């Protein structure tokens, strides 16, 4: 079984990705790098970066160290920079100075990384391949720029916002499934490990997207407005399909999800809650370590 046969798919969720950080740290600690591609959505794209650069603990460390720094994520940042998550602070100062990404390892690693971002003009998901840092850091920022509280990020002449609006859990694209969007130069994996940040009983409602729609901020972009209106329907349908595949023991997917409802908010900054969620991610990965290793074809 070749590494390129397996994809790693990471849902977003802001600080809820502390669960993902726990899962990925355990995989890295045990040398489970047998993936051909990693697909990150929103904060999941940030987690994917640390996985590709093989930096154990970095994602959790950043979230814990800067959780209450107003430059990191705050309404002060929103008022002063136009981004609730401070772009310059996160993607320049933290990325390059305060807790730098190991760009040498990132750039040398053959693992293909895709950041999912929403094309605001067309209202569709784009899968932006991050081949090298720092050149492609803007693609990660585009994937993680939340609608209503972030400025659009321009990449390659296109305007982007958070990838979760258009493809929250891109396992179908990663698998190259029939009817799924095809990514140029990518043939599709035979199987995918999918890490979620919501428990299996969660059902999404219009929620935050409704608040963004009522702001009329994107009225000039009708396709994106429609994507916001229908996100919860597509998200619930994605999860229904994924869990149906899991119940049917479809050999193409292995799903890792929190066992209990996650109370940490997208912008939640309580250190104890974040650490607890990280530990739960670690516990899940450790409990299923042999299963994951067998699924991805890891040879000890």
| Tokens describing residue 144 | 């993680």
Of 34, 126, 136, 162, which residue is the catalytic one?
A: 162
CA 206 to chain centre: 20
The residues with which 254 forms a beta bridge, in sequence order, are 193
Of 34, 37, 42, 115, which residue is the catalytic one?
A: 42
145 as an active site residue: the answer is: no
Which residues 6+ apart lie within 8 Å of 105 measured at CB? 53, 54, 55
162 as an active site residue: the answer is: yes
Distances (CA, A) of 31 to 11, 49, 52, 197, 284: 22, 16, 12, 23, 17
Distance CA 198, CA 147 (A): 20
Distance CA 139, CA 141 (A): 5
Dihedrals φ, ψ of 161, to 5°? -135, -175
What's the burial of 184, exposed, middle or buried (CB within 10 Å: 0-12/13-18/19+)? exposed
Which residues 6+ apart lie within 8 Å of 283 measured at CB? 22
Which positions are catalytic? Answer: 42, 162
């Amino acid at each position: 079984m070749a590494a390129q046969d397996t994809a790693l798919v990471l849902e977003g969720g802001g600080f809820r990705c502390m669960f993902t950080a726990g899962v990925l740290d355990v995989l890295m600690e045990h040398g489970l790098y047998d993936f051909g591609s990693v697909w990150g959505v929103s904060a999941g794209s940030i987690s994917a970066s640390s996985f590709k650069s093989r930096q154990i603990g970095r994602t959790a460390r950043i979230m814990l160290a800067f959780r209450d720094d107003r430059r990191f994520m705050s309404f002060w940042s929103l008022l002063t920079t136009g981004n609730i998550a401070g772009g310059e602070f996160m993607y320049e100062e933290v990325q390059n100075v305060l807790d730098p990404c190991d760009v040498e390892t990132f750039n040398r690693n053959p693992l293909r990384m895709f950041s999912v971002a929403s094309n605001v003009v067309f209202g569709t998901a784009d899968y932006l391949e991050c081949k090298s840092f720092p050149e492609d850091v803007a693609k990660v920022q585009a994937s993680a720029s939340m609608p209503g509280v972030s400025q659009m990020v321009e990449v390659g002449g296109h305007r982007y916002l958070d990838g979760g609006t258009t493809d929250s859990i891109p396992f179908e694209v990663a698998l190259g499934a029939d009817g799924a969007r095809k990514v140029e130069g990518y043939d599709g994996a035979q199987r995918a490990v999918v890490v979620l940040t919501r428990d299996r009983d969660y059902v999404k409602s219009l929620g935050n997207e409704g608040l963004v729609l009522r702001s009329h901020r994107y009225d000039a972009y009708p396709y994106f407005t429609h994507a916001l209106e229908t996100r919860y329907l597509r998200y619930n349908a994605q999860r229904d399909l994924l869990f149906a595949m899991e119940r049917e023991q479809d050999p193409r997917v292995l799903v890792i999800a929190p066992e209990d409802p996650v109370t940490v908010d997208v912008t939640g900054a309580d250190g104890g809650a974040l650490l607890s969620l990280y530990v739960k991610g670690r516990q899940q990965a450790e409990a299923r370590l042999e299963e994951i290793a067998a699924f991805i074809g890891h040879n000890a």
